Amino acid sequence: MQIDGLEIAANAFTAGAIFLAGRNSVHTWWTGIIGCSLFALLFYQAALFADVVLQVFFVFTSVYGWWKWLRGAGGQALPVTRMRAAGLLWMVPAGLLATAAYGTLLYLYTKAFAPFFDSAVLVFSVIAQFLMMQRRIESWGFWLLVNTIAVPLYFSRGLTMTAVLYAFLWINAIASWLWWKKLAAQEAASATQPLRALGPVA
Protein backbone atom coordinates (compact mmCIF):
# COMPACT_ATOMS: atom_id res chain seq x y z
CA MET A 1 0.00 0.00 0.00
CA GLN A 2 1.34 3.42 -1.01
CA ILE A 3 2.26 5.85 1.75
CA ASP A 4 2.37 9.51 0.75
CA GLY A 5 4.79 12.18 1.84
CA LEU A 6 2.25 13.89 4.09
CA GLU A 7 1.82 10.76 6.22
CA ILE A 8 5.59 10.24 6.42
CA ALA A 9 6.21 13.83 7.57
CA ALA A 10 3.33 13.80 10.07
CA ASN A 11 4.55 10.57 11.60
CA ALA A 12 8.17 11.70 11.76
CA PHE A 13 7.43 14.91 13.64
CA THR A 14 4.89 13.28 15.93
CA ALA A 15 7.19 10.38 16.79
CA GLY A 16 9.89 12.88 17.70
CA ALA A 17 7.48 14.94 19.80
CA ILE A 18 6.18 11.94 21.75
CA PHE A 19 9.70 10.61 22.37
CA LEU A 20 10.71 14.03 23.71
CA ALA A 21 7.59 14.17 25.91
CA GLY A 22 8.49 10.82 27.43
CA ARG A 23 11.94 12.19 28.23
CA ASN A 24 10.36 15.26 29.86
CA SER A 25 11.87 17.62 27.23
CA VAL A 26 10.20 20.96 26.53
CA HIS A 27 11.07 20.54 22.83
CA THR A 28 8.11 18.16 22.61
CA TRP A 29 5.82 21.15 22.11
CA TRP A 30 7.16 22.80 18.94
CA THR A 31 7.78 19.47 17.23
CA GLY A 32 4.26 18.44 18.24
CA ILE A 33 2.76 21.59 16.73
CA ILE A 34 4.26 20.74 13.36
CA GLY A 35 3.23 17.08 13.56
CA CYS A 36 -0.35 17.89 14.58
CA SER A 37 -0.76 20.40 11.77
CA LEU A 38 0.30 17.77 9.25
CA PHE A 39 -1.95 15.13 10.82
CA ALA A 40 -4.95 17.48 10.60
CA LEU A 41 -4.54 17.53 6.83
CA LEU A 42 -4.03 13.77 6.69
CA PHE A 43 -7.10 12.93 8.77
CA TYR A 44 -9.26 15.31 6.76
CA GLN A 45 -8.37 13.34 3.65
CA ALA A 46 -9.30 10.10 5.47
CA ALA A 47 -12.69 11.46 6.64
CA LEU A 48 -11.71 11.10 10.31
CA PHE A 49 -13.27 14.42 11.22
CA ALA A 50 -13.09 14.06 15.00
CA ASP A 51 -9.35 13.56 14.60
CA VAL A 52 -9.10 16.75 12.55
CA VAL A 53 -10.71 18.69 15.41
CA LEU A 54 -8.38 16.95 17.84
CA GLN A 55 -5.24 17.97 15.94
CA VAL A 56 -6.37 21.61 15.82
CA PHE A 57 -6.95 21.42 19.58
CA PHE A 58 -3.45 19.99 20.02
CA VAL A 59 -1.88 22.85 18.07
CA PHE A 60 -3.47 25.55 20.26
CA THR A 61 -2.92 23.76 23.58
CA SER A 62 0.67 22.96 22.69
CA VAL A 63 1.44 26.68 22.64
CA TYR A 64 0.10 26.96 26.19
CA GLY A 65 1.77 23.72 27.27
CA TRP A 66 5.11 25.03 26.00
CA TRP A 67 4.79 28.10 28.24
CA LYS A 68 3.40 26.08 31.15
CA TRP A 69 6.36 23.70 31.25
CA LEU A 70 8.84 26.58 31.13
CA ARG A 71 7.20 29.11 33.47
CA GLY A 72 4.14 27.46 35.02
CA ALA A 73 5.44 27.19 38.59
CA GLY A 74 5.69 30.83 39.63
CA GLY A 75 8.00 31.64 36.75
CA GLN A 76 9.99 28.43 37.16
CA ALA A 77 9.84 25.12 35.27
CA LEU A 78 6.81 23.01 36.18
CA PRO A 79 7.68 19.83 38.14
CA VAL A 80 6.33 16.33 37.41
CA THR A 81 3.54 15.50 39.89
CA ARG A 82 0.65 13.11 40.51
CA MET A 83 -3.08 13.83 40.40
CA ARG A 84 -5.36 13.37 43.37
CA ALA A 85 -7.48 10.23 43.17
CA ALA A 86 -10.69 12.28 43.34
CA GLY A 87 -9.76 14.02 40.10
CA LEU A 88 -9.38 10.73 38.26
CA LEU A 89 -12.67 9.30 39.56
CA TRP A 90 -14.79 11.70 37.52
CA MET A 91 -12.60 11.86 34.42
CA VAL A 92 -13.31 8.36 33.07
CA PRO A 93 -17.15 8.48 33.28
CA ALA A 94 -17.15 12.05 31.99
CA GLY A 95 -14.97 10.91 29.10
CA LEU A 96 -17.32 8.04 28.27
CA LEU A 97 -20.34 10.35 28.27
CA ALA A 98 -18.59 12.88 26.05
CA THR A 99 -17.53 10.07 23.70
CA ALA A 100 -21.13 8.86 23.37
CA ALA A 101 -22.47 12.37 22.81
CA TYR A 102 -19.92 13.44 20.22
CA GLY A 103 -19.99 10.06 18.51
CA THR A 104 -23.76 10.37 18.14
CA LEU A 105 -23.38 13.77 16.50
CA LEU A 106 -20.83 12.41 14.06
CA TYR A 107 -23.06 9.42 13.30
CA LEU A 108 -26.15 11.53 12.66
CA TYR A 109 -24.71 14.53 10.83
CA THR A 110 -21.50 13.45 9.06
CA LYS A 111 -20.13 10.63 6.97
CA ALA A 112 -17.39 9.96 9.51
CA PHE A 113 -15.92 6.47 9.59
CA ALA A 114 -16.33 4.62 12.93
CA PRO A 115 -17.70 7.74 14.65
CA PHE A 116 -17.71 6.37 18.21
CA PHE A 117 -14.16 5.04 18.08
CA ASP A 118 -13.07 8.24 16.39
CA SER A 119 -14.81 10.20 19.13
CA ALA A 120 -13.14 8.15 21.87
CA VAL A 121 -9.71 8.97 20.44
CA LEU A 122 -10.63 12.66 20.50
CA VAL A 123 -12.15 12.80 23.99
CA PHE A 124 -9.52 10.82 25.85
CA SER A 125 -6.71 12.55 23.96
CA VAL A 126 -8.10 15.86 25.20
CA ILE A 127 -8.02 14.56 28.76
CA ALA A 128 -4.50 13.21 28.31
CA GLN A 129 -3.33 16.49 26.78
CA PHE A 130 -4.64 18.58 29.68
CA LEU A 131 -2.86 16.27 32.13
CA MET A 132 0.30 16.43 30.03
CA MET A 133 0.20 20.23 30.08
CA GLN A 134 0.19 20.00 33.90
CA ARG A 135 3.07 17.47 33.81
CA ARG A 136 0.90 14.87 35.55
CA ILE A 137 2.14 11.28 35.56
CA GLU A 138 -1.39 9.98 34.96
CA SER A 139 -1.44 11.48 31.47
CA TRP A 140 0.40 8.39 30.24
CA GLY A 141 -2.40 6.07 31.38
CA PHE A 142 -4.84 7.97 29.17
CA TRP A 143 -2.38 7.94 26.28
CA LEU A 144 -2.25 4.14 26.61
CA LEU A 145 -6.02 4.00 26.23
CA VAL A 146 -5.96 6.33 23.22
CA ASN A 147 -3.24 4.33 21.48
CA THR A 148 -5.11 1.06 22.06
CA ILE A 149 -8.13 2.44 20.21
CA ALA A 150 -6.20 4.34 17.54
CA VAL A 151 -4.06 1.48 16.20
CA PRO A 152 -6.90 -0.62 14.70
CA LEU A 153 -8.86 2.52 13.72
CA TYR A 154 -6.06 3.98 11.62
CA PHE A 155 -5.10 0.63 10.16
CA SER A 156 -8.69 0.14 8.98
CA ARG A 157 -8.46 3.44 7.05
CA GLY A 158 -5.29 2.42 5.24
CA LEU A 159 -3.08 4.68 7.37
CA THR A 160 -0.60 1.89 7.91
CA MET A 161 2.37 4.00 8.93
CA THR A 162 0.22 5.96 11.38
CA ALA A 163 -1.09 2.72 12.89
CA VAL A 164 2.49 1.50 13.33
CA LEU A 165 3.42 4.83 14.92
CA TYR A 166 0.61 4.52 17.47
CA ALA A 167 1.72 0.96 18.25
CA PHE A 168 5.16 2.40 19.01
CA LEU A 169 3.52 5.13 21.09
CA TRP A 170 1.75 2.45 23.12
CA ILE A 171 5.13 1.03 24.15
CA ASN A 172 6.58 4.51 24.64
CA ALA A 173 3.69 5.44 26.95
CA ILE A 174 4.55 2.58 29.32
CA ALA A 175 8.24 3.53 29.36
CA SER A 176 7.40 7.21 29.84
CA TRP A 177 4.99 6.44 32.67
CA LEU A 178 7.78 4.64 34.54
CA TRP A 179 10.30 7.39 33.77
CA TRP A 180 8.00 10.19 34.99
CA LYS A 181 7.27 8.27 38.20
CA LYS A 182 11.02 8.16 38.84
CA LEU A 183 11.37 11.88 38.11
CA ALA A 184 8.49 12.75 40.45
CA ALA A 185 10.04 10.69 43.24
CA GLN A 186 13.40 12.42 42.74
CA GLU A 187 11.82 15.89 42.74
CA ALA A 188 9.79 15.10 45.86
CA ALA A 189 12.91 13.84 47.64
CA SER A 190 14.86 16.93 46.61
CA ALA A 191 12.11 19.24 47.88
CA THR A 192 12.17 17.68 51.35
CA GLN A 193 15.97 17.78 51.81
CA PRO A 194 17.32 20.25 54.38
CA LEU A 195 18.82 23.38 52.86
CA ARG A 196 22.28 22.49 54.16
CA ALA A 197 22.21 19.30 52.09
CA LEU A 198 21.85 21.34 48.90
CA GLY A 199 25.23 22.95 49.24
CA PRO A 200 26.29 26.57 49.88
CA VAL A 201 24.00 29.38 48.75
CA ALA A 202 25.66 32.04 46.64
**How far is the CA of 160 from the CAs of 19, 73, 147, 164, 169, in angstroms?**
20, 40, 14, 6, 14
State yes or no: pLDDT of 193 exceeds 70: no
**How far is the CA of 197 from the CAs of 118, 183, 187, in angstroms?**
51, 19, 14
State yes or no: pLDDT of 112 exceeds 50: yes
Q: How much is the pLDDT for 162?
A: 85
Quote the CA–CA distance of 6 and 64 in Å, as a whole number.
Answer: 26
Q: Where residue 73 falls among pLDDT bands split at 50, 70, 90?
A: confident
**Can you say how many angstroms the Cα of residue 11 is from the centroid of all Cα atoms in its chain?**
14
Least confident of 15-29, 65-79, 103-117, 185-199: 185-199
Burial (Cβ within 10 Å: 0-12, 13-18, ≥19) of residue 93: exposed
Higher pLDDT, 196 or 17: 17
State yes or no: pLDDT of 115 exceeds 60: yes
Q: How much is the pLDDT for 110?
A: 85
**How confident is the prediction for the chain on average, in pLDDT?**
87
State yes or no: pLDDT of 199 exceeds 60: no
Do 140 and 177 meet the contact criterion of CB atoms below 8 Å apart?
A: yes
Please state the domain extents for the chain.
5-72+83-182
